[in-house]
């Protein structure tokens, strides 16, 4: 069951280019959506066994022989699997109508499914090398998808993304090699034990950690490793932007980094300090940058950097509440940012432009798109009673509890900046007088609107039913992570 | 009888309110019939509960000493019965009067909801529960005033809400102090000596009570409502329900919760408020040119007698105050209803346009005359009995000044009712009102019932005094002293009664003097007093709402907000508008310039960032 998260998308991805020769649209659409719906269902069905047994460990076998691939499932990665399946399902639903003017649906879906498989694998595996492996699987699919439109801008962005990513991957690989050299093993548990038994060598582990922070930080687009993202995310087709901003940066950046920290080396005050500072710098710098943008997608891309800063700030506090807040914000941001990028796709589909200065007054013409955009924007900006409000509130409460008053203040002030640039979108695109150019526009097609509405409802419902969602879903995931905090570290400070 | 019966007077009208609210607007007769029937059921409930007299219901509610605690005893049973009686008369009257009101659906809903809240407030034996019902009444009052459908109705409704809210807030603070000093919220367990903090609690709670009753200076919304709200509302709330509730609470405060001693500072506060309310409001009433507005000022002035009576802290005064409360509710409701009857037929309540209606509306005129004589304290009506008791009580305190104030009030009360009656029902027939006839029986009947009750309670004062009033003040009497207020109640040949009769004669003289001076026009009868040198300026100021604390408060707030806007808001706004925005823009532009799209540049940041992280971690390690 657990392996289906990796192999099902891979299998379908392998078949899709061939099927594409036969059926241009219908079969790829149905097959992809069905596969992702199955994964979503699967992740929901796994909730009970995982929560009752704490964690699951499975080995893959081939005719009775153990193949050296192991998956481990606990509250944290089940939470990630669910988020990935949910958001990517909405994205593929959206793609049914959106991809009409790109063509090559089958290839697109194949790449998208490879990316999903890569992310699922990255989330599931309990050893360092497999982490690297799946990191690259997801990344390569994403390079291709960023360049999917094949225009000069897309190609440039993709190339830049590739070149910076490779540097990051190289450092991650280097760091893994060093750790393998030190401990002689790669699985999380063995490495953790090995590091504890190690005498001296704190410095070298520190440098390894710095490499990890840089490598995964680049994937997560932390400032100052963020520069590829504002080019890459807007260039990709809207569903892929949603995928990258909503999921990939979180899985291959935030998840991988914090899985390594909490499950292998343990969180130390020094590490916490470094990560909190980086998170906060990301929040502020990216929010200011977002303010100056005229392209909706670029603004959203900067906003992603800023919000990832919040997630990292929450996770790095290293108190159970902080971790829970960070994870909750991760989920809420995945949903809301997915919604906003899809929505920007709707706007582009409707009007043909993403330039805020050319839009105006769309609210009266396309109320569904405008309404869902408003909900997503307010959720990310942290307006009650939407989901994003609660997660930001928890992060800020956790900061205050841990006596980081300065960070708490910055987090609050930056959320005002967030609200500012999201209201800028609302004002320039949806409110105000209708630009004469848009007199004849029509609401987005059914599946595009449906995906928007589903995600907007999620923002709303998670916000309203925040207590049960948080208790049943977020807290167990946070507990699975928080165990790592107590891990005593030999090189500890 | 089961203790849960106590829930009936609260739940039944609340359910009926919903039912009446849900009956579609088109169905007319059913709604009115149902309303009258349910008020009859409530009246029956009132009688049966009055016969039980003692019942308690207590269940846990919110924890922390906040229980759902209802207590029926002598006093609350009496008020409950009175409330049900007035509700019945007013629904009967509304069946015709409010028949064609465009929002009559809401009207019945709010009236029954208000009845539910009032019953709850009377039965409550827990302060929090009391506040709950007390505050809820503000909402129904607000809603009912807006049903006046005048352009200023909403403004008046907001005014009543704010003034009421202020008084209730004060009461809540008083309750907080009581809770702090006794540690209990159960009303029947509180009995305090007012000094220091508990004196403050007394004053604060008293403001809540007299604010509801409409004493000065919390009265200013009532004259506005007289013109802006439906006349049935005036008969319902300011004339009967609010008086009953407010004075009930004031009596509870001064008799049960606190120990009020004769001549103590707390008692003096009540006496002064009472006397000031009597005199000031009656002077305002005297010069009114509108029937309903004139009545509304009397509704304020008469509260003064009740507060004065309770403030005397002697048994006869307290009994007089409480007796005056029920008497006032009867004749003032009767007066408002007859004003409504006149409005119903003549289409106006301006004194100038009315005149000589007695011949065409004999029943209304009769009911009005009895009630007007009763409010003026004419022998042998109920107003005479209760006022005499208040005069006696005031004299017993040893400060005759308060009795004099009460007598001054009596003079002008009678003068203004002579003027009102003379202008509306007697004198030459007005030419501005077309020929008409008396109102339908559902309108006339309540007025006549009230008039008969006024006579009964006066002539046969033994009935109310022994059944309702004496048991309430029994605790105030010295041990061994036998309370009997009925013996000399109708005796005309005492000095006090003599002075009262003299007052009535003066009033008669004043009226006819003014009538003569005003060219035999009754509505001008008060003009000589209106134009007295100092009074005239005071009247002008008052007409300009100079003494209205609400209007002055609003003016002050507007001034304050202007000051704050200019000296606090604008400078802060400047910081946001200019400083924050320009700093934000500066950094935005700076960062934007750094993102020039050069791969080498970005790679350099990445490597630079890596070096920085390594450096920081290494630093932290050492």
Please state the domain extents for chain B.
3-547, 551-621
Better pLDDT: B594 or A162: A162
CB atoms within 10 A of CB B455: 15
A202 vs B contacts (CB less than 8 Å) = 621
pLDDT of residue A61: 66
pLDDT of residue A301: 92
Give the separation between CA A382 and CA A367, rounded to whole angstroms: 22
Looking at every residue in chain B, the average pLDDT score rounds to 85
Decide if pLDDT at A334 tops 90.
yes
Give the separation between CA B270 and CA A481, rounded to whole angstroms: 68
Decide if pLDDT at B297 tops 60.
yes
Q: Are residues A207 and B618, on separate chains, in Cβ contact within 8 Å?
A: yes
Distance from the Cα of A204 to chain B's closest Cα (Å) equals 9
Give the separation between CA B438 and CA A18, rounded to whole angstroms: 96
Dihedral (CA of A25, A26, A32, A33) sign: positive
- Residues of A engaging B, defined by a Cβ cutoff of 8 Å: 160, 163-164, 167-168, 171, 202-203, 206-207, 209-211, 213-214, 217-218, 224-225, 227-228, 230-231, 270-271, 273-274, 278, 285, 288-289, 291-292, 417, 491, 493
pLDDT digits (tens, 9 = 90+) for B213-255: 888 888 888 888 888 888 888 888 888 888 889 889 988 888 8
pLDDT of residue A65: 66
| Minimum CA–CA partner of B599 in chain A | A160
Q: What mean pLDDT do residues B70-85 have?
A: 88
Task: Report helix, strand or coil for B70.
Answer: strand
pLDDT digits (tens, 9 = 90+) for A195-228: 877 776 778 888 888 999 999 999 999 988 888 8
Highest mean pLDDT among A165-179, A420-434, B195-209, B376-390: A165-179
Decide if pLDDT at B618 tops 50.
yes
Percentage of chain A modeled with pLDDT above 70: 95
Q: Are residues A285 and B591, on separate chains, in Cβ contact within 8 Å?
A: yes
Looking at every residue in chain A, the average pLDDT score rounds to 87
pLDDT digits (tens, 9 = 90+) for B175-204: 888 888 888 888 888 888 877 888 888 888
Give the separation between CA B345 and CA B517, rounded to whole angstroms: 30
pLDDT of residue A88: 93
- For residue B265, how many C-alpha atoms fall within 13 Å in the half-sphere facing its CB? 9
Decide if pLDDT at A485 tops 70.
no
Note which residues in 586-615 of chain B have CB less than 8 A from chain A.
Answer: 587-589, 591-592, 595, 597, 599, 601-603, 605-610, 613-614
Beta strands B55-63 and A65-74 are unpaired
Residue B618 at interface with chain A, using a CB cutoff of 8 Å: yes
Percentage of chain B modeled with pLDDT above 70: 98
Beta strands B55-63 and B66-72 are antiparallel
Q: What is the ipTM of this complex?
A: 0.80
Task: Identify from B610, B611, B616, B618 which residue to disrupt to test chain A contact, counting A C-beta atoms within 10 A and taking the largest count.
Answer: B610
Highest mean pLDDT among A449-458, B386-395, B532-541: A449-458
pLDDT of residue A139: 92
CB A214 within 8 A of CB A243: no
Q: Are residues B613 and A214, on separate chains, in Cβ contact within 8 Å?
A: yes
pLDDT of residue A64: 65
Dihedral (CA of B355, B356, B361, B366) sign: positive
pLDDT of residue B269: 87
Decide if pLDDT at A382 tops 50.
yes
Q: What is the pTM of this model?
A: 0.61
Hey, what are B211's tokens? 């604010």
Task: Identify from A155, A219, A227 which residue to disrupt to test chain B contact, counting B C-beta atoms within 10 A and taking the largest count.
Answer: A227
Q: What mean pLDDT do residues A173-182 have?
A: 91
Of A163, A217, A493, the CB nearest to B599: A163
Integer angstrom CA distances of residue B488 from A264, B156, B494, B496: 99, 44, 9, 12
CB B286 within 8 A of CB B412: yes
In DSSP terms, which residues pair with B126 in a beta bridge? B186
Give the separation between CA B169 and CA B156, rounded to whole angstroms: 19
A with B: how many residue pairs have Cβ under 8 Å apart?
82
What helix, strand, coil percent values describe chain A, rounded to 5?
80, 5, 15
Distance from the Cα of B569 to chain A's closest Cα (Å) equals 19
pLDDT of residue B580: 78
pLDDT of residue A399: 92
Band of pLDDT at residue A118, cut at 50, 70 and 90: very high
Give the separation between CA B24 and CA B14, rounded to whole angstroms: 18
pLDDT digits (tens, 9 = 90+) for A237-287: 889 999 999 899 999 999 899 888 888 887 888 888 899 999 999 999 999
Task: Identify from B613, B616, B619 which residue to disrupt to test chain A contact, counting A C-beta atoms within 10 A and taking the largest count.
Answer: B613
CB atoms within 10 A of CB A173: 17
Residue B621 at interface with chain A, using a CB cutoff of 8 Å: yes
Decide if pLDDT at B63 tops 80.
no
Distance from the Cα of A346 to chain B's closest Cα (Å) equals 27
Better pLDDT: B438 or A316: A316
Q: Are residues A274 and B588, on separate chains, in Cβ contact within 8 Å?
A: no
Of B591, B599, B606, the CB nearest to A288: B591
B601 vs A contacts (CB less than 8 Å) = 227
CB A297 within 8 A of CB A344: yes
| Minimum CA–CA partner of B594 in chain A | A227
Decide if pLDDT at B205 tops 50.
yes
Nearest 5 degrees, angle CA B610-CA B612-CA B614? 70
Decide if pLDDT at B162 tops 90.
no
Decide if pLDDT at B85 tops 80.
yes
Distance from the Cα of B570 to chain A's closest Cα (Å) equals 20
pLDDT of residue A493: 35
Of A210, A228, A285, the CB nearest to B602: A228
pLDDT of residue A488: 39
B609 vs A contacts (CB less than 8 Å) = 214, 217, 224-225
């Amino acid at each position: 069951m657990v392996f289906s998260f990796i192999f099902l998308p891979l299998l379908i991805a392998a078949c899709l280019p061939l099927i594409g020769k036969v059926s241009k649209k219908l079969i790829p659409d149905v097959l992809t959506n069905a596969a992702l719906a199955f994964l979503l269902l699967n992740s929901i069905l796994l909730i009970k066994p995982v929560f009752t047994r704490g964690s699951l460990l499975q080995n893959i076998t081939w005719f009775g022989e153990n193949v050296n691939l192991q998956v481990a499932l606990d509250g944290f990665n089940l939470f990630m699997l669910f988020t990935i399946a949910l958001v990517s399902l909405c994205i593929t639903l959206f793609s049914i109508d959106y991809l009409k003017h790109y063509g090559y649906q089958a290839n697109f879906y194949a790449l998208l499914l490879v990316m999903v498989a890569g992310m699922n694998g990255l989330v599931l595996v309990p050893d360092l090398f497999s982490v690297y492996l799946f990191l690259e699987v997801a990344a390569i699919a994403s390079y291709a998808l960023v360049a999917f439109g094949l225009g000069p801008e897309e190609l440039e962005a993709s190339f830049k993304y590739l070149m910076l990513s490779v540097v990051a991957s190289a450092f991650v690989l280097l760091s893994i090699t060093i750790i393998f050299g030190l401990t002689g093993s790669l699985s999380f548990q063995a490495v953790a034990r090995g590091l504890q038994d190690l005498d001296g060598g704190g410095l070298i582990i520190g440098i390894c950690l710095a490499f990890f922070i840089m490598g995964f930080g680049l994937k997560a687009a932390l400032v100052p490793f963020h520069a590829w993202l504002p080019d890459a995310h807007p260039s990709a087709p809207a569903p892929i932007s949603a995928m990258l901003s909503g999921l990939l940066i979180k899985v291959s950046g935030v998840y991988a980094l914090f899985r390594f920290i909490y499950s292998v080396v343990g969180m130390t005050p020094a590490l916490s300090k470094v990560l909190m500072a980086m998170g906060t710098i990301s929040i502020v710098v990216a929010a200011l940058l977002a303010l100056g943008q005229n392209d909706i997608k670029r603004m959203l891309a900067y906003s992603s950097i800023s919000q990832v800063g919040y997630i990292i700030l929450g996770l790095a506090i290293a108190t159970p509440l902080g971790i829970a807040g960070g994870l909750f914000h991760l989920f809420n941001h995945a949903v809301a940012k997915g919604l906003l990028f899809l929505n920007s796709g709707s706007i582009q589909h409707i009007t043909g432009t993403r330039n805020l200065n050319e839009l105006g007054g769309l609210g009266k013409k396309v109320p569904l798109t405008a309404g869902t955009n408003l909900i997503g924007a307010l959720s990310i900006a942290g307006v009650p009673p939407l989901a994003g409000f609660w997660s930001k509130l928890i992060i800020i409460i956790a900061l205050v509890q841990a006596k980081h008053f300065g960070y708490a203040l910055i987090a609050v002030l930056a959320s005002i900046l967030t609200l500012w640039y999201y209201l800028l979108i609302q004002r320039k695109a949806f409110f105000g007088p209708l630009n004469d150019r848009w007199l004849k526009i029509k609401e987005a097609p059914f599946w595009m609107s449906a995906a928007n509405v589903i995600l907007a409802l999620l923002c709303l419902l998670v916000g309203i039913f925040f207590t049960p969602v948080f208790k049943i879903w977020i807290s167990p995931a946070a507990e699975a992570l928080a165990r790592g905090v107590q891990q005593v570290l030999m090189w500890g400070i | 009888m089961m203790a849960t019966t106590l829930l009936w007077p609260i739940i039944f009208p609340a359910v009926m309110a919903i039912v009446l609210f849900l009956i579609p607007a088109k169905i007319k007769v059913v709604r009115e019939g149902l309303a009258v029937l349910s008020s009859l059921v409530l009246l029956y409930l009132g009688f049966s509960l009055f016969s039980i007299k003692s019942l308690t219901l207590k269940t846990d509610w919110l924890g922390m000493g906040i229980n759902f605690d209802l207590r029926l005893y002598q006093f609350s049973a009496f008020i409950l019965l009175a409330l049900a009686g007035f509700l019945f008369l007013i629904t009967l009257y509304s069946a015709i009067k409010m028949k064609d009101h465009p929002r009559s659906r809401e009207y019945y809903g709010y009236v029954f909801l208000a009845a539910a809240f009032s019953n709850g407030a009377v039965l409550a034996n827990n302060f929090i529960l009391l506040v709950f019902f007390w505050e809820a009444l503000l909402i129904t009052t607000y809603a009912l005033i807006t049903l006046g459908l005048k352009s200023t109705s909403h403004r008046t409704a907001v005014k009543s809400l704010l003034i009421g809210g202020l008084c209730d807030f004060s009461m809540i603070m008083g309750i907080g102090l009581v809770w702090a000093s006794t540690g209990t919220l159960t009303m029947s367990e509180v009995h305090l000596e007012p000094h220091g903090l508990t004196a403050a609690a007394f004053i604060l709670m008293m403001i809540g009570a007299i604010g509801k009753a409409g004493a000065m200076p919390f009265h200013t919304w009532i004259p506005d409502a007289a013109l802006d709200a439906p006349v049935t509302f005036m008969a319902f709330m300011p004339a009967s329900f609010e008086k009953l509730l407010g004075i009930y609470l004031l009596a509870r405060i001064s008799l049960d919760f606190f120990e009020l001693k004769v001549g103590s500072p707390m008692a003096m506060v009540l006496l002064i408020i009472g006397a000031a309310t009597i005199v000031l409001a009656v002077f305002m009433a005297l010069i009114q040119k509108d029937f309903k507005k004139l009545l509304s000022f009397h509704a304020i002035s008469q509260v003064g007698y009740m507060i004065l009576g309770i403030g005397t802290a002697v048994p006869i005064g307290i009994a007089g105050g409480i007796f005056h409360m029920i008497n006032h509710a009867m004749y003032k409701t009767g007066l408002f209803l007859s004003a409504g009857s006149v409005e119903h037929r003549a289409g106006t309540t301006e004194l100038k346009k009315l005149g000589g209606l007695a011949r065409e509306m004999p029943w209304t005129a009769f009911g009005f005359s009895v009630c007007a004589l009763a409010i003026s304290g004419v022998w042998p009506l109920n107003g005479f009995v209760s006022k005499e008791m208040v005069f006696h009580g005031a004299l017993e305190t040893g400060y005759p000044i308060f009795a004099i104030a009460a007598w001054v009030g009596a003079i002008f009360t009678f003068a203004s009712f002579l003027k009102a009656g003379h202008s509306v029902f007697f004198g030459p027939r007005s030419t501005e009102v077309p020929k008409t006839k008396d109102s339908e029986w559902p309108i006339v009947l309540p007025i006549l019932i009230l008039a008969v009750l006024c006579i009964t309670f006066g002539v046969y004062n033994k009935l109310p005094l022994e059944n309702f009033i004496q048991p309430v003040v029994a605790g105030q009497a010295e041990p061994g002293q036998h309370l009997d207020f009925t013996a000399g109640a109708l005796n005309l040949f005492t000095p006090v009664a003599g002075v009262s009769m003299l007052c009535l004669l003066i009033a008669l003289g004043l009226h006819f003097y003014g009538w003569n001076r005003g060219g035999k026009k009754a509505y001008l009868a008060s003009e000589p007093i209106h134009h007295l040198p100092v009074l005239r300026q005071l009247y002008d100021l008052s007409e300009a709402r100079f003494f209205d604390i609400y209007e002055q408060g609003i003016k002050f707030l507007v001034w304050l907000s202007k000051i704050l806007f200019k000296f606090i808001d604008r400078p802060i706004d400047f910081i946001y508008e200019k400083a924050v925005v320009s700093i934000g823009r500066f950094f935005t532009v700076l960062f934007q310039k750094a993102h020039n799209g050069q791969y080498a540049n970005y790679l350099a940041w990445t490597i630079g960032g890596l070096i920085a992280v390594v450096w920081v971690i290494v630093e932290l390690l050492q």
